[in-house]
């Protein structure tokens, strides 16, 4: 690899750090913290929203400099970048060598190399499951690729989809997995608490939570004690979930608790983590559960098999009877539980932010020296 000038300046989109921390937000926070202290890099975190300038400085790692406060609404920026190459990222950051759009959108730049993270292709595969904003992403990605941008994905599965859908060569697609921030198990555990299956995530159609509610109704027939806990902020799948719960025979044992800051205690107390997604570009909750010794039941879609390996019970998406059966096995079969716990603790060792940060830093240095 060529030796670049030191240090290389990198602009990273920190907008996903704002508000409730979703999976993308966790990913961006992890990558930003991991590369922020790299000796060969200077990182500037910019925000694409009217309020980002005020809120972001307090959310950035100490090693990351905040960008300028430019109060332009994100919606206006997306409309502009769909047709024009203005405004350029230097408006927020000053001169930089690399600009990394960490969440599907990479701004135009004067001279900087451009890198855009594509977490998944939900807007292309399941546009009916997306918000109007998300449905703009494919066009913006195509425009960036046509102008020479490189692509970062967090899984091989997504890299394969990107190359197929956008007709881009493998030399421009870079796979760097998410890491896993260590979760501390609680010092004590309330043994009197009713056993519960846990689901974590924003309530959006892609997460398949109504299917889980239907499967839980079957599980509850066989297990008189188990509860279902759904943690995560409300989203555009809220109505479907509410309707599913209203139809459930055991609705009284289903609990929506919103977002929880102390994920460690919540996950560690669960008997099983259920991850019934219809599509995923990575999936952090299964790894978090494995790190705390909690068995995982998930689906066979997207990058989930790549991430969990043989350390989870996998079923086809939308197969409610199979999901119910898998949950019962993970709840009640001690041999299966022991195997999943042991395999899960081994699996999580493959995903560290230290390794992810080193790989991303090397990519930034390479991009800075590559003609563009």
The predicted-structure confidence for 212-247, as pLDDT tens digits, reads as follows 999 999 999 999 999 999 998 887 778 888 899 999
On whether both 270 and 327 belong to a single domain, the answer is yes
Does any domain span residue 1? no
Does any domain span residue 190? no
What is the number of domains present in the chain?
2
Region 292-310 average pLDDT: 97
User: Model pTM?
Assistant: 0.91
Burial class from Cβ neighbours inside 10 Å (0-12, 13-18, 19+) for residue 1 reads exposed
Q: Are strands 313-315 and 150-153 parallel, antiparallel or unpaired?
A: unpaired
On whether both 68 and 211 belong to a single domain, the answer is no
pLDDT at 6: 65
For residue 277, which of 259, 304, 256 has the smallest C-alpha distance? 304
Does any domain span residue 69? yes
Does any domain span residue 360? yes
For residue 154, which of 323, 295, 363, 2 has the smallest C-alpha distance? 363
Does any domain span residue 310? yes
Q: Provide the residue range defining the domain that includes 271.
A: 196-350
Encoding tokens for residue 313?
Answer: 């019970």
On whether both 40 and 90 belong to a single domain, the answer is yes
Residue 77: CB atoms within 10 Å: 17
What are the helix (H) ranges across the chain? Answer: 23-36, 52-55, 74-81, 90-93, 122-125, 137-146, 156-166, 209-222, 238-247, 263-268, 284-291, 304-308, 320-332, 334-347, 353-369
Whether the per-residue pLDDT at 1 is higher than 60: the answer is no
Residue 371: CB atoms within 10 Å: 5
On whether both 345 and 359 belong to a single domain, the answer is no
On whether both 98 and 156 belong to a single domain, the answer is yes
On whether both 145 and 76 belong to a single domain, the answer is yes
Whether the per-residue pLDDT at 4 is higher than 70: the answer is no
Does any domain span residue 107? yes
Whether the per-residue pLDDT at 3 is higher than 70: the answer is no
What are the helix (H) ranges across 37-89? Answer: 52-55, 74-81
For residue 317, which of 215, 242, 203, 237 has the smallest C-alpha distance? 215
Q: What is the CATH number of the domain that holds 217?
A: 3.40.50.2000
What are the helix (H) ranges across 147-262? Answer: 156-166, 209-222, 238-247
Q: Are strands 64-66 and 254-258 parallel, antiparallel or unpaired?
A: unpaired
Count Cα atoms within 13 angstroms, Cβ side, for 186.
13
On whether both 172 and 227 belong to a single domain, the answer is no
Burial class from Cβ neighbours inside 10 Å (0-12, 13-18, 19+) for residue 192 reads exposed
Does any domain span residue 186? no
Local structure of 50: helix, strand or coil: coil
d(CA 338, CA 333): 9
Does any domain span residue 345? yes
d(CA 215, CA 301): 18
On whether both 346 and 215 belong to a single domain, the answer is yes
On whether both 324 and 175 belong to a single domain, the answer is no
Encoding tokens for residue 351?
Answer: 């995903």
Find out whether 89 and 112 touch, Cβ atoms under 8 Å: yes
pLDDT tens, residue by residue, 99-148 = 999 999 999 999 999 999 999 999 999 888 788 889 999 999 999 999 99
On whether both 251 and 341 belong to a single domain, the answer is yes
Q: Which helix (H) or strand (E) holds 98?
A: strand 98-101
pLDDT tens, residue by residue, 22-69 = 889 999 999 999 998 888 999 999 998 877 778 888 999 999 999 998
On whether both 60 and 108 belong to a single domain, the answer is yes
On whether both 242 and 274 belong to a single domain, the answer is yes
């Amino acid at each position: 690899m060529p030796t670049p000038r030191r240090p290389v300046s990198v602009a990273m989109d920190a907008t996903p750090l704002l508000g409730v921390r979703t999976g993308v937000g966790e990913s961006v926070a992890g990558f930003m913290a991991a590369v922020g202290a790299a000796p060969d890099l200077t990182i500037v975190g910019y925000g694409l929203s009217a309020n980002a300038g005020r809120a972001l400085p307090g959310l950035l790692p100490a090693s990351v400099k905040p960008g300028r406060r430019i109060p332009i609404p994100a919606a206006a920026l997306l409309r502009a970048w769909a047709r024009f190459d203005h405004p350029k990222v230097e408006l927020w950051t000053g001169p930089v060598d690399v600009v990394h759009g960490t969440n599907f959108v990479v701004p135009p730049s004067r001279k900087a190399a451009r890198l855009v993270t594509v977490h998944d292709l939900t807007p292309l595969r399941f546009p009916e499951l997306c918000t109007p904003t998300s449905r703009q992403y494919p066009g913006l990605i195509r425009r960036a690729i046509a102008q020479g941008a490189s692509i970062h994905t967090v899984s091989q599965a997504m890299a394969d989809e990107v190359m197929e859908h956008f007709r881009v060569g493998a030399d421009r697609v870079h796979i760097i997995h998410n890491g896993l921030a260590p979760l501390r198990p609680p010092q004590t555990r309330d043994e009197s608490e009713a056993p519960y299956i846990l689901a974590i995530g924003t309530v959006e159609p892609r997460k398949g939570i109504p299917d889980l509610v239907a499967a839980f109704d079957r599980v509850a027939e066989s297990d008189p004690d188990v509860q279902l806990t759904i943690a995560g902020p409300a989203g555009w799948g809220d109505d479907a979930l509410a309707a599913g719960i209203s139809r459930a025979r055991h609705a009284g044992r289903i609990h929506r608790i919103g977002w929880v800051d102390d994920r460690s205690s919540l996950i560690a107390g669960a008997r099983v983590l259920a991850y019934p997604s219809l599509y995923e570009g990575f999936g952090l909750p299964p790894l978090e559960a494995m790190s705390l010794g909690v068995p995982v039941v998930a689906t066979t879609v997207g990058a989930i098999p790549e991430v969990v390996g043989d350390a989870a019970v996998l079923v086809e998406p939308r197969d409610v009877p199979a999901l119910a059966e898998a949950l019962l096995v993970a709840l009640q079969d001690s041999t299966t539980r022991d195997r999943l716990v042991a395999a899960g603790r081994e699996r999580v060792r493959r995903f560290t932010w230290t390794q992810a940060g080193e790989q991303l830093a090397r990519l930034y240095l390479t991009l800075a020296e590559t003609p563009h």
